[in-house]
Chain A
Amino acid sequence: DTGVSQDPRHKITKRGQNVTFRCDPISEHNRLYWYRQTLGQGPEFLTYFQNEAQLEKSRLLSDRFSAERPKGSFSTLEIQRTEQGDSAMYLCASSSQGKGAGELFFGEGSRLTVL
């Protein structure tokens, strides 16, 4: 299966620790997105990349959050000094730039629990 892959699927951490999530997009997709979803809510946009360039960041992405996509393939999302309010599902999605550019394909998500 060549869908969007995320790792780890679930992370439990203590407040104040740093966590990092990885996303491997569909190989032919050059756009990659991070969303956050809390219980009972729809996903909220965090940031997106076109190739290795980070083109947009949401105000939700505080200074403790950093995302990278160094070679235009996989991406990492790091959260420093985690807080209980960071507990959520972090979803990665990818899309192509040409035909079908609006169709985002999501991974299974990385669920973060901050104790």
Chain B
Amino acid sequence: QKEVEQDPGPLSVPEGAIVSLNCTYSNSAFQYFMWYRQYSRKGPELLMYTYSSGNKEDGRFTAQVDKSSKYISLFIRDSQPSDSATYLCAMKKGLTGGGNKLTFGTGTQLKVEL
């Protein structure tokens, strides 16, 4: 079993829809949680970075972490065709464990259609 599980999709939604992307994890040592966006044949781009449980909002993006359930989510409001990409969740242990080594999910491919 992988430490981080993510549905690979593809997920197709109409423009303007609210998108919900999720990951589950098994290792309770993970303390920091990130979402990256990756366009085809490009490197991952950091979208959201959160510590521990709670919500964080940035524009149309909201990241949610529930450590008790080992479940994280990314919500995209008013989705646009330019949001079409692969979304990767990533997480790491505390500062004293493993440096900044990230464990990634497989990524969810999102397509926002006109």
Name A's B-contacting residues (CB within 8 A): 4, 6, 31, 33, 35, 40-45, 48, 50, 55-56, 91, 93, 95, 101-109, 111
Report how far A101 CA is from B103 CA in the complex, Å. 16
**What are 12 A-B contacts defined by CB distance under 8 Å?**
A31-B99, A42-B90, A45-B101, A48-B99, A50-B99, A95-B100, A101-B100, A102-B100, A103-B34, A103-B46, A106-B43, A108-B43
CB of B106 closer than 8 Å to a CB of A = yes
Alpha-carbon distance A4/B44, docked complex (angstroms) = 11
Q: Report A107 CB to chain B, min CB distance, Å.
A: 5
Interface flags for B48-63 (1: CB within 8 Å of A; 0: not) read 0100000000000000
Q: How far is the CA of A40 from the CA of B90 in the complex (A)?
A: 15
CB <8 Å contact, A104 and B98: no
- Is the beta-carbon distance between B92 and A102 smaller than 8 angstroms? yes
Write the nearest CB–CB distance from B23 to chain A, whole angstroms: 10
**Cβ-defined contact, A107 with B43, below 8 A:** yes
Q: Is B102 an interface residue (CB 8 A)?
A: yes
Whether A42 pairs with B105 at a CB distance below 8 angstroms is yes
Contacts of A102 in B (CB 8 A): 32, 34, 49, 92, 95, 100
Beta-carbon nearest neighbor of A31 in chain B? B100
The interface residues of chain A lying within 8 Å CB-to-CB of B32 are 102
Of chain B, the residue at the smallest CB distance from A41 is: B106
Closest 10 CB pairs of A and B: A42-B104, A106-B43, A102-B32, A108-B43, A106-B44, A45-B101, A109-B43, A42-B106, A43-B104, A107-B43
